[in-house]
Amino acid sequence: MKRVITYGTFDLLHVGHINILRRAKALGDYLVVAISNDEFNALKGKKAYYSYEDRKTILEAVKYVDEVIPEKTWEQKVQDVKDHDIDIFVMGYDWTGEFDFLKDYCEVIYLPRTEGISTTQIKKDLMSK
């Protein structure tokens, strides 16, 4: 069984999120999604619209997702790969090169993002109305 992991906040779930989850799942048999918990978001200076628990519940309902775990620190990725027997680490192409250190533990793939949509843009659009 090939196991895949990806990371993100996954706030205001949109088609771009679904596309990356679908494509990540297609790379293997089991998809683990690590989502930033509220405390980690605060450390990054971010605030999600939905709480960690609500985002976790939403992602668990997505058919491509097999397991959701909390992301608590930047540094936990190597341990997550080991603990969850991960074969492939997937992130959006805008992170290209940032996680190459994981190549010692698994395959690292950077996927293109869906053009024309982002959570940041959705929030800006909502604020301007």
Q: Is the dihedral of CA 38, 76, 21, 111 positive or negative?
A: positive
Task: Please pick, among 2, 25, 46, 63, the residue that the annotation labels catalytic.
Answer: 46
Task: Please pick, among 2, 44, 123, 124, the residue that the annotation labels catalytic.
Answer: 44
Is 46 marked active-site?
yes
Is 103 marked active-site?
no
Instruction: Give the start-end residues of each E strand in 46-102.
Output: 67-71, 88-92
Instruction: List active site positions.
Output: 44, 46
